[in-house]
């Protein structure tokens, strides 16, 4: 077994665990938080992957979203990876929105980032294979959720792999990195100046280029300080309207960008995912 159990706690009759493992994709040790509901004691369960945002680790969602109670009721495993490689020898940047903690769920092609920042390969391929081989999760019933940078990750991964994931939702996602300062900084820094190479990492561009999922759920706070400059949900609304993708975009009055916002609507997202994961 390549998974090393770092911590374990009983939680709503299930188990909240943190694992560490060596990653071939990033060339570093990586950590991932896993909640196994009580139903996992009897066989494989469906899984919701949660991708966190800028500056976060695997702990933010696990400790702040309040998701385990509902996941235990619904029989959902929750998997929360870290947001980037970390450690000695891993390049970093003093800004919060680039480098460690800001992997943007892409495979970097520009040195020095290309050696370790291979988060697309890690999330799409390596980690699902590893956890699927070691844990009682059902590979045929997977879905994605994410917040901010992780919302960007969830949307783009789902759009690139429509047959793998049953559903995708997001909280305050970066819907078009090609058209916001966070995205332009990250994509140019990790991938270089050729904007064509950026398109696989932009949900709106992927949709314009033909990628499809049946439906998308998004919650967005109207008091989010990043709403107009970075998030721009109207661009996703336009892309989905043009192509016929069923988008539910809940604009939540007075809510900001924090985990207080996520915790307020996490239950509704998990119930939405459970319906689709269980064939509803």
DSSP state of 197: G
Q: Report the alpha-carbon distance of residue 161 to residue 265 in Å, rounded.
A: 26
pLDDT of residue 1 exceeding 90, the answer is no
Active-site residue, selected from the candidate residues 23, 84, 143, 148: 148
- How confident is the model over 182-222, as pLDDT tens digits? 999 999 999 999 999 999 999 999 999 999 999 999 999 99
Closest Cα partner for 205 from 248, 155, 244, 270?
155
- Tell me how many degrees the CA angle 210-211-216 measures, rounded to the nearest 5: 130
pLDDT of residue 108: 98
Identified catalytic residue from 84, 224, 269, 273: 224
pLDDT of 2 reads 87
74-88 mean pLDDT: 97
Give the pLDDT of residue 174. 98
Condensed to tens digits (0 to 9), the pLDDT of residues 90-112 reads 999 999 999 999 999 999 999 99
| pTM, two decimal places | 0.97
The mean of the pLDDT values for the chain is 97
224 is catalytic: yes
From the candidates 152, 257, 269, 273, give the one annotated as an active-site residue. 257
Characterize the bridge pairing of strands 4-11 and 14-22: antiparallel
Q: Is 7 a catalytic residue?
A: no
| Secondary structure (DSSP) of 235-267 | HHHHHHHHHT-EEEEEEETT--SSHHHHHHHHH
Cβ within 8 Å of residue 155, ≥6 positions away: 146, 168, 170, 173, 175, 203, 216, 236
Element (H, E) at 33: strand 29-36
Write down the pLDDT at residue 14.
98
CA distance 16 to 9: 5
Confidence of residue 272 (pLDDT cuts 50, 70, 90): very high
Q: Which two three-digit tokens encode residue 204?
A: 């709106």
Is pLDDT at 279 greater than 90 in this prediction?
no
Q: Which two tokens stand for residue 20?
A: 């560490």
Looking at residues 47-71, what average pLDDT do you find?
A: 98
Phi, psi torsion values for 76, nearest 5 degrees:
-105, 130
Residues 6+ apart with CB under 8 A from 119: 25, 26, 83, 84, 85, 103, 104, 105, 106, 107, 153
Residues sharing a CB contact under 8 Å with residue 140, sequence separation 6 or more, in sequence order: none
The per-residue pLDDT for range 132-179, each reduced to its tens digit, is: 999 999 999 999 999 999 999 999 999 999 999 999 999 999 999 999
d(CA 12, CA 69): 6
Q: Give the pLDDT confidence score for residue 131 in this predicted structure.
A: 98
Give yes or no for a contact between 171 and 261, defined as CB atoms under 8 angstroms apart. Answer: yes
166 Cβ contact list (under 8 Å, min separation 6): 46, 141, 142, 143, 273, 276, 277
What's the rounded Cα separation, in Å, for the pair 105 and 51?
9
Asked if residue 280 has pLDDT above 90, the reply is no
pLDDT above 90 (res 249): yes
pLDDT digit string (tens) for 3-14?
A: 999 999 999 999
């Amino acid at each position: 077994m390549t998974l090393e159990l770092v911590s374990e706690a009983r939680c709503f009759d299930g188990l909240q665990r943190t694992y560490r493992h060596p990653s071939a994709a990033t060339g570093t040790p990586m950590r991932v938080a896993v909640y196994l509901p009580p139903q996992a004691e009897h066989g494989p369960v469906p899984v919701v992957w949660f991708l966190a945002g800028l500056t976060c680790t695997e702990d933010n969602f696990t400790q702040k979203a309040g998701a385990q109670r509902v996941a235990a009721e619904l029989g959902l495993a929750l998997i929360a990876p870290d947001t980037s490689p970390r450690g000695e020898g891993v390049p970093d940047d003093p800004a919060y929105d680039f480098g460690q903690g800001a992997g943007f769920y892409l495979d970097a092609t520009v040195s020095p980032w290309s050696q370790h920042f291979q988060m697309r390969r890690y999330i799409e391929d390596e980690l699902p294979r590893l956890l699927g081989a070691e844990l009682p999760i059902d590979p045929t019933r997977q879905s994605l959720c994410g917040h901010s940078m992780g919302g960007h990750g969830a949307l783009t991964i789902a759009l690139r792999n429509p047959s793998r994931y049953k559903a995708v939702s997001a909280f305050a996602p970066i819907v078009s990195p090609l058209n916001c300062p966070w995205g332009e900084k990250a994509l140019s820094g990790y991938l270089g100046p050729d904007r064509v190479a950026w398109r696989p990492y932009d949900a709106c561009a992927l949709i314009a280029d033909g990628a499809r999922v049946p439906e998308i759920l998004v919650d967005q706070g109207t008091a989010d300080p990043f709403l107009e400059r970075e998030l721009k949900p109207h661009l996703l609304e336009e892309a989905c309207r043009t192509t016929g993708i069923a988008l539910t975009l809940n604009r939540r009055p007075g809510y900001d960008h924090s985990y207080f916002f996520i915790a307020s609507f996490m239950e509704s997202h998990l119930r939405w995912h459970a319906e689709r994961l269980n064939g509803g």
